[in-house]
A and B are shown apart, each in its own frame.
Chain A
Amino acid sequence: MRLTLKRLFLISSLILVNFSLPAQAKVFNATNFKLDNGLEVIIAPNHRTPVVTFMIWYKVGAADEPQGLSGMAHYFEHLMFKGTKNFAPGEFSRIIKKLGGNENAFTGQDYTAYFESITVDNLDKILSLEADRMSNLNVPEDHFHSEKAVVIEERRQRTENDPEGLFAEQMSSALFVNHPYGTPVIGWMDEIEKYEWNDVKKFYDTWYAPNNAVIIISGDITPEIARPLIEKNFGKIEPKTLPPRIRTDVPKAIGETNMILHDATIHQPSVSKTFIAPSFKNDKKDALALQVLEQILSGGATTRLYKTLVVEQKKAISVGFSYNGTALDYGTINIAATPAEATQDLNDLMQTVMDEIKKVQIDGVTEKELSDAKQQLIDSADYARDSISGPAMTIGYNIATGATLDDIENWPEMIKTVTAEQIQAVAQKYLDIEKPWLRPAITGFLYPEEKKPEQIKPEQEAKE
């Protein structure tokens, strides 16, 4: 709680595989408007049960932190529960619980989001509490320190206890050279210890403002009812002059990177490969084609990769291809495979996966694959509406990473326009090993501990 979304890659497949509707219909039938102070609002009605999910997404995340203070956006998110001029630390959560609500928050590279799910009669109270902490945060010193210890425990739990967690972090760092996405959202251990109140206060004063936030409410609500309540609670908060979000570029690189970990706690070898790709924001057309490619390659037990490597060739136990485009600056493509035999050469295994991708690069995909994949993506929209909180999450992730509400509502229509030629083209452009886009992929190898000669028992040697 106070979740850290370090695995943004995974989240995207939940979101982007998650919406669409029959022809021409909007996905969520949402409405948007903006207050005079710049606060954006999106309302996505669903009247099945008298409950709403309220979310507020601030357009600031780990990638906007000052140098040397990694993890501060996430740490700050924790502090948002630690008291304001009007409420004692922890009271925010206690009030919401008492009203029968659930609350939480999470931080990504590009955003920080806070949410509550609660019966709709309590919406006004939620709005007043969220408005209060947008401008009145006031954390007592002892809580400032104890929460730092909590975040350190969080990092131990999520990352330090798990060599594979540390390895994944290291792979991101190597991939996103000279770019903040290479720094983990939760921050490096040494830097977590260094936050000072003044840094934190400055971060809050700079970024937490109505004109840097988006409110999304999904559930049993209409814009007519919501608007006056939001005006009343947030309308008087002054906008701020926001600094530009300065993001550096990943420079062109030529050397291929292989990363290897041998560890005693690893019992199942595996291999993965990560490419940088465009985000939806930076190249909508290519992003859509990559989404359909993902569905064709990896959208179930009968699609290309699983069918070939796992069912037919028996080279892998699992294999996956995922594209994540919900990011402001760069998307990623991740390929992962687990070998069928522990002794298998992981380079060969990855090569087999890349051979399948090569087939798409050379021969393209069939019309049948294309239409099946599109239909599956389009059908998923009906399911996306079968939730109170889901629509707010989906809309939020996409808006916070540069999509528009129209993009989200018309996503099924846009998916329909993707052609087989586009899919072949994006496979050629972003998955080319010889002529990589931007920079070569990084390949990570996880192995059990390497047996040193002296660990091998004499009788085993004798057998050899």
Chain B
Amino acid sequence: MKIFFYTTYAFLLFCFPVHAAEKFLDIKEVTSTNGIKAWLVEDHSLPIISLQFSFKEAGSIQDGATKQGLAQLLSNTMDEGAGDLPSQEFQKILTDNSISLYFNSSRDNFGGQLKTLSRNKDKAFELLSLALTSPRFDEEPLARMRDANMSRIRSSMGNPDWINARVFNDLAFAGHPYALNSGGTLTSLGTLTAQDLKDFKNNWLTKDKLYVGVTGDITAEQLKTVLDKVFNALPAQGKKNEVQKLELQNTGKTYLFKRDIPQTIISSALPSIDINDPDYDALRVMNYIYGGGGFGSYVMDVAREKRGLTYGIYSSLQSQDYINLLDISTSTKNNSTTEIIQIITDEMNRLKNQTVAQEDLDSAKSYLIGSMPLSLGSTDKISSILLGLQMDNRPIDYLDGYAERIKNITPQDIQKAATRVLNPDKLLTVMVGNPQENKLYTNIESLPNVE
């Protein structure tokens, strides 16, 4: 869950190499004549090329409070006409050549993905280049995208998961750009202009912030030319990023947004540690055991398998540029909220106070190492791995040594990670629903950053 936290990094939860000695993935670094870098996995088994890219620090954190939704609106409008091609003509060439081109924005970054059949690659790269360097931002498609976003917001306003995310962001990140609505508000979207989009693009979609991952039916030599053709015309230098790190806000508190529905949606979070922290690998294994692993994880085992309280309960590590969290999400009938929150806490204490059973640790390591090849099933998945590694500033052989590092984790490492992170008194919890004990919670009356 947590739509608001989607990151290119999520894949790493599912991907680790088989044998430390072998290369897990044959990644080449390619540098174009003009110095644009990309990581490439060449694979000619299918006539398909996938290219993904991202501009670091260029996400919705740069929107500002009065222009919430700007990065997202830009991502929606970049492929709506470029150069001499108005929106409909541009889209028609994409469709007729079966080229898939999308831009996307997350909180931290602005990115895009291109997938094409080899026979249409020249056209595909040309369209991408046009979209990146000379998007038109014509009034008609801009208004259409703005309206579509406002409609999406209105459609989401009744969705308890979405409400939960809005309230959670507002409380967890109070005072920080993360607290704002990356999808925009009904008011802010209405004020955004083509000039806003141009400014954002010129300020943030620049070569110094660019990362590229490519997979499929293309050679390193061919890619060099493509990189220059597609990206070289972008400005060299972007604006200086001024967003600061933050700590989780409102820890130790529980909030309720009351809704008359039969099931309460619950999300909780704890402050966590950075991906470069020496305990991070252990934390990853610990998270799998606690709630990241789905069936068989501690919280799932008690809350679903033993007590039938929920359809699902999961924890995950959210490693963002400015904050690190461990979060937990679940839903349960209104009169079981106290019981399920007790389980969330109890299972944390269990991992803190007891040494983890060797069998549980072995199973977790075995899954995390053994499942790694599953992440290589498609050109898209591989490109997104290549991109994620670079965005996280990992070395090119990072995955090759991963299995070994996971293997070496001990029960003591798990307990140490648990002690550092699993502190129930710091839980921030947000509920949407109608729990019977609702007097215990701080009530939230109105939806922040929506209207």
Contacts and interface: CB of A to CB of B under 8 A. Distances in A.
Contacts of A382: 46-48, 117
B332 to A, nearest CB: 7
B52 to A, nearest CB: 14
Nearest to B363: A98
Given A145-B308, A310-B144, A101 B370 contact: yes
A146 B59 CA distance: 44
A14 interface: no
Nearest to B371: A100
A90 interface: yes
Interface residues of B, number: 63
A90 B307 CA distance: 14
Interface string B352-373: 0000000000110011011111
A81 B87 CA distance: 50
A386 B48 contact: yes
Given A97-B367, A157-B263, A90 B305 contact: yes
Interface in B89-137: 91-92, 94-96, 98, 115, 117
Contact of A51 (B140, B331, B333, B374): B374
B363 A94 contact: yes
Nearest to A383: B48
Contacts of A380: 98
Nearest to A148: B308
Contacts of A164: 158
B48 A94 contact: no
Given A119-B373, A311-B144, A387-B377, A100 B367 contact: yes
Contacts of B369: 100
A26 interface: no
B157 A267 contact: yes
Interface string B148-172: 1001001101111000000000000
A156 B263 contact: yes
Contacts of A99: 366, 370
A115 to B, nearest CB: 12
A354 B296 CA distance: 51
A301 B309 contact: no
Interface in A93-119: 93-94, 97-102, 117-119
Contact of A160 (B88, B148, B155, B263): B263
B72 to A, nearest CB: 16
A240 B154 CA distance: 53
Given A263-B158, A338-B151, A117 B374 contact: yes
B363 A97 contact: yes
A153 interface: yes
Contacts of B45: 47-48
Contacts of B331: 153, 156-157, 161
Contact of B46 (A145, A318, A386): A386
B121 to A, nearest CB: 13
A134 B363 CA distance: 26
Q: Which of B148, B311, B366, B378 has the most CB of A within 10 A?
A: B311
Nearest to B433: A161
Interface stretch (A272-280, A371-379, A404-412): A371-379
A31 to B, nearest CB: 19
B355 to A, nearest CB: 20
Given A100-B367, A267-B158, A340-B147, A48 B98 contact: no
Contacts of B307: 146, 149
B333 A153 contact: yes
A449 to B, nearest CB: 11
B416 to A, nearest CB: 24
Given A51-B374, A94-B363, A338-B151, A386 B379 contact: yes
Given A266-B158, A386-B48, A48 B376 contact: yes
Interface in B286-320: 293-296, 301, 304-312
Given A148-B308, A160-B262, A382-B48, A49 B376 contact: yes
A328 to B, nearest CB: 28
B43 interface: yes
A50 B373 contact: yes
Interface string A157-176: 10011111000000000000
Contact of A48 (B43, B148, B294, B305): B43
Nearest to A153: B311
A74 interface: no
Nearest to A389: B377
Contacts of B311: 1, 150, 153-154, 157
A161 B367 contact: no
B262 to A, nearest CB: 5
Nearest to A338: B151
B236 interface: no
Contacts of A51: 373-374, 376-377
Contact of A93 (B18, B295, B333): B295
A72 B225 CA distance: 58
A351 interface: no
A299 interface: yes
Q: Which of B95, B115, B301, B369 has the most CB of A within 10 A?
A: B95
B341 interface: no
A227 interface: no
Contacts of B159: 162
Contacts of A417: none
A388 interface: yes
Contact of A161 (B88, B261, B294): B261
Contacts of A147: 308
B142 to A, nearest CB: 13
A239 B294 CA distance: 34
Interface string B13-27: 000001000000000
A100 B332 contact: no
Contact of B370 (A119, A299, A311, A390): A119
Contacts of B117: 379, 382-383
B95 A302 contact: yes
A1 B378 contact: no
Contacts of A379: 98, 117
Contacts of B47: 382
A302 B308 contact: no
A100 B160 contact: no
Interface in B312-350: 312, 331-333
Q: Which of A119, A145, A372 has the most CB of B within 10 A?
A: A119
B96 A375 contact: yes
Contacts of B88: 301-302, 307, 311
A132 B376 CA distance: 30
B367 A156 contact: no
Contact of B308 (A146, A317, A387): A146
A268 interface: yes
22 contacts: A51-B376, A90-B296, A97-B366, A100-B372, A146-B305, A152-B333, A153-B263, A153-B333, A156-B331, A160-B262, A161-B263, A162-B158, A163-B158, A164-B158, A267-B157, A268-B151, A303-B95, A311-B88, A317-B147, A317-B151, A340-B147, A388-B378
Given A1-B311, A89-B305, A383-B98, 20 more contacts: A49-B377, A94-B295, A98-B363, A100-B366, A102-B371, A146-B307, A149-B309, A153-B309, A157-B331, A162-B158, A266-B158, A267-B158, A268-B154, A301-B88, A301-B91, A310-B144, A317-B151, A376-B96, A383-B115, A386-B379
Interface of B: 18, 43, 45-48, 87-88, 91-92, 94-96, 98, 115, 117, 140, 144, 147-148, 151, 154-155, 157-160, 261-263, 265, 293-296, 301, 304-312, 331-333, 362-363, 366-367, 369-374, 376-380
Q: What are the nearest 9 A-B pairs in CB distance?
A: A100-B370, A149-B308, A265-B158, A146-B308, A379-B98, A268-B154, A388-B377, A156-B263, A100-B371
